[in-house]
Amino acid sequence: MSLSRREFVKKGAAASAAFTILPAHVLGMRGDSGRPLAPSDKLNIVGVGVGGRGAGVLREFKGHNIIALCDVDWRYSEKAFDEYPDVKLYQRLYYDFRKMYDDLEESIDVVMCATSDHTHAVIAAQAIAMGKHVYVEKPLTHTVYESRLLTKLADKHKVATQMGNQCASDDGVRKVCEAIWSGMIGEVTKVEAFTDRPIWPQGLPRPVEEQTPHSELDWDSFLGPAPYRPYHSIYTPWNWRGWWDFGTGALGDMACHILQPVTLALNLKHAVSVLGSSTPLLTDCAPNAQRVHFKFPAREPINNIPMPALSVIWYDGGLRPDLPEGWPEGRDLNHHGGGVIFHGTRDTLIVGCYGSDPWLLSGNELPEPVSTRKITDGHYMDFIHACKESPENRRVCASDFSTAGPLNEMVVMGVLAVRLQTLNKELLWDGERMEFTNISDNEEMKIMIEDGFSIKDGHPTFDKTFTDYFNAKTFAQELIKHNYREGYTLPAMP
């Protein structure tokens, strides 16, 4: 049975009095000097965002102490709450992660975050600043600045981190790296990648109708740091991915999976330019299909294999790359939801979504990977092991924030290129300073609000409405680093 807010408040005091979580050091989970933990030691884990993907992640942390659960929608999360009867019985259920941190800071070892994209950074950054290990679902953050911040905070506080792009720990990614680092496909100057998503509504105008949220949804907590807007059922649960204030569209959803082998094998850091285009772009909602062209400079060779200047081209919403010459007739490029083509000077390497089943267009066999660490117990437990190890001896996770942060910066910068496409130019990017260098101080742009499509006298007619012109540089800066709603802040950049 679900607990209403009123029942929660009524029962909370009595239940809380009956249940006390001992601090982790009392339980032997953390030594006073940060000693590593024995494999048998259990971690105290809290989950933030457990109604959807987060429930599955928590199940992977089997054998550890799930001590509290937080979600803005208790109706959506009811099944997840039922999986942890002690947490439910003793009222360790929260709507607001900030209240959970206040109550349980001394008892938490690990924070698992699987909320909507726009709240990842505020949840994870505060946890890292408290010295907690963090597992964050992809995309890591909503903005470039947030990605950079989490990367630097994790390094400063020496905590274990992992982004939830599980393919990073699979052998497919290792095989891609081996094929490229061994020189088997030659020098790579072009990569094309795509996903068959979105599978949620996109390309929509902002709803005009204001609705009343159900009694078990805390709408204000869902909004979190985003600007206030009235509730509408089209935003949540799950469909938030298509709305710019909350999600990052198909690119943000899938590129952290699909581009992981690209960024790792080709040692990509900051792009130098980006150009985005799409089906009709509206103010609030991601378009139905997108194309983004990233350009990267030459990098240092790996194993004496040159890493020349590179183009990476992304497609989604039904758009795909052309099939390369010599493609096997009848074979689908879409493998498990997408794919990647590495165009080398000696051979062409193809890999499916999630880094799955890489193969060579020539038909040659891929070499067995020897240059990267094989992860024997999976993405989740590798993270758990890292949480128990001392910083000096920790085995870095496959998607540790030192890797996941730069990957995510690339992904969300691609989102910016789509949102800034009406400037009609290739945008030059200064990665170190996190800014576009060819948007002038007085440059202006506008975005379509609604296309006003109708049929009049048998003819398609558009009565498009647009925003007023606004300053493009200010808009770009806000997309790179959000100004949060009152009550939400980030730690300072280290």
The rounded mean pLDDT for the chain is 92
Could you tell me the CA-to-CA distances from 123 to 104, 114, 240 in Å, in that order? Answer: 14, 10, 18
| SS3 call for 441 | coil
What sign for the dihedral angle of Cα 299, 300, 301, 302? negative
Alpha-carbon gap, residue 236 to 243, rounded angstroms: 10
- Closest residue by Cα to residue 193 from 331, 351, 314, 317: 314
| SS3 call for 435 | strand
Residue 223: is its pLDDT beyond 80? yes
Asked, as a colleague might, if the bond just before 207 is cis with ω within 30 of 0, I would say: no
Tokens 């691609």 label which residue? Answer: 414
262-303 pLDDT tens trace: 999 999 999 999 999 999 999 999 999 999 999 999 999 999
Lowest mean pLDDT among 22-31, 52-61, 333-342: 22-31
The predicted pLDDT at position 20 comes to 53
- Closest residue by Cα to residue 46 from 71, 9, 22: 71
CB distance 132 to 110 below 8 Å: yes
172-190 pLDDT tens trace: 999 999 999 999 999 999 9
Residues with Cβ within 8 Å of residue 453, at least 6 apart in sequence: 460, 461, 462
CB distance 67 to 21 below 8 Å: yes
Query: Considering the chain, what percentage of its residues have pLDDT values greater than 90?
Result: 88
CB distance 67 to 104 below 8 Å: yes
Instruction: State mean pLDDT over 381-410.
Output: 97
The predicted pLDDT at position 91 comes to 85
- Closest residue by Cα to residue 59 from 2, 135, 133: 135
Alpha-carbon gap, residue 201 to 287, rounded angstroms: 9
Alpha-carbon gap, residue 321 to 311, rounded angstroms: 13
Residues with Cβ within 8 Å of residue 262, at least 6 apart in sequence: 191, 193, 268, 312, 340, 342
Residue 116: is its pLDDT beyond 70? yes
| SS3 call for 221 | helix
Residue 242: is its pLDDT beyond 60? yes
Alpha-carbon gap, residue 49 to 52, rounded angstroms: 7
Residue 309: is its pLDDT beyond 50? yes
- Closest residue by Cα to residue 29 from 40, 17, 14: 40
Topology classification of domain 5-166+378-401: Rossmann fold (3.40.50)
Q: Can you spell out the DSSP letters for 215-259?
A: TTB-HHHHHTTSPP----TTTSSSGGGGBTTT--HHHHHHHHHHT
Q: How sure is the predictor about 62, in pLDDT bands with cuts at 50, 70 and 90? A: confident
Residue type, position 306, single letter: P
- HEC string of 444-491? EECCEEECCCEEECCEEECCCEECCCEEHHHHHHHHHCCCCCCCCCCC
The CATH homologous superfamily of the domain defined by 167-374+402-494? Dihydrodipicolinate Reductase; domain 2 (3.30.360.10)
The predicted pLDDT at position 90 comes to 80
Alpha-carbon gap, residue 415 to 274, rounded angstroms: 10
457-475 pLDDT tens trace: 899 998 999 999 999 999 9
10-23 pLDDT tens trace: 444 334 434 455 54
In angstroms, how far apart are the furthest CA atoms of the chain?
A: 79
Residue 33: is its pLDDT beyond 50? no
CB distance 349 to 342 below 8 Å: yes
The ranges assigned to domains in the chain are 5-166+378-401, 167-374+402-494
CB distance 174 to 374 below 8 Å: yes
Residue type, position 230, single letter: P
Could you tell me the CA-to-CA distances from 310 to 125, 259, 410, 431 in Å, in that order? Answer: 32, 14, 14, 16
Parallel/antiparallel/unpaired status of strands 188-195 and 310-316: parallel
Record the tokens describing residue 149, joined without a space: 């911040």
Instruction: State mean pLDDT over 307-330.
Output: 97
Asked, as a colleague might, if the bond just before 139 is cis with ω within 30 of 0, I would say: yes
| SS3 call for 301 | strand
CB distance 390 to 36 below 8 Å: yes
Instruction: State mean pLDDT over 403-413.
Output: 98
Residues with Cβ within 8 Å of residue 32, at least 6 apart in sequence: 25
Tokens 């569209």 label which residue? Answer: 249
What's the pTM value of the predicted model, to 2 decimals?
0.93
Residue 378: is its pLDDT beyond 90? yes
Residues with Cβ within 8 Å of residue 473, at least 6 apart in sequence: 436, 439, 440, 441, 443
Instruction: State mean pLDDT over 218-230.
Output: 98
Alpha-carbon gap, residue 110 to 130, rounded angstroms: 11
Alpha-carbon gap, residue 205 to 227, rounded angstroms: 17
Instruction: State mean pLDDT over 16-40.
Output: 50
Strand partners, 299: 307
Tokens 């709305």 label which residue? Answer: 243
